[in-house]
Structure 1
Amino acid sequence: MNTLKTTIINQICYTALVYKRINKKLNINLSNNEIEVLVKETISNATNIEHIGKNYYVCNYVTNTRITINANNFRVITADRLKHPSKK
């Protein structure tokens, strides 16, 4: 998993709209650079990475954050807060 984390971090890219989407979905207000740092830290400390279909789902259960990344071009698609199983 460490090799995959390194590959994702080295090749990750962003679109202009994804910064706004991440701020909205995570209910935060960060600059583009701060979002990039947040995403890289989330990936570095990921608890689980799943490759489902055309996406990687990078989960960090410590921060309850999931980053969705396109597996072909390593473009960030979105970020979500993970829900606790007991809080459905």
Structure 2
Amino acid sequence: MENYKYKVLDKITYTELVYGRINKKLNLNYSKEKIQELISKIVFETHESHFVKKGKNIYITNHEKNIVLTININTNRIITATTINI
């Protein structure tokens, strides 16, 4: 099984649109820097067993923070962050 955690931590990228998308989906009002800190913290704290590759995306599920991150594996670009529906 490939280790995606450190690849994501090392190479994650953001688009201008994703900052607004993350704020909207997570009901936040964070700056770009604060969003980057949040995403990095979630990726770092999530156990590797919660990194699932499906097609061209990696889904990172962090149950403690109740968040799922979606990252494109080819571009290492974060696509979105959503809350887990329980």
Given the two structures, how large is their TM-score scaled by the length of structure 2? 0.92
- Which SS does the other structure have where 1:18 is aligned? helix
Gaps of 5+ in 1: none
RMSD: 1.2
Task: Name the % identity.
Answer: 40
Q: How far has the Cα of 1:18 moved from its partner?
A: 0.1
Paired residue total: 83
- Deviation string, structure 1 residues 48-84 (Cα, Å, up to 9, x no partner): 1100011000110000001100010100000000011
Distance 2:40 2:85 in 1: 21
Given the two structures, how large is their TM-score scaled by the length of structure 1? 0.90
- Equivalent residue, structure 2, for 1:69: 71
- Equivalent residue, structure 1, for 2:15: 15
- Which SS does the other structure have where 1:17 is aligned? helix
Runs of 4+ in 1 over 6 A off after TM superposition: none
Gaps of 5+ in 2: none
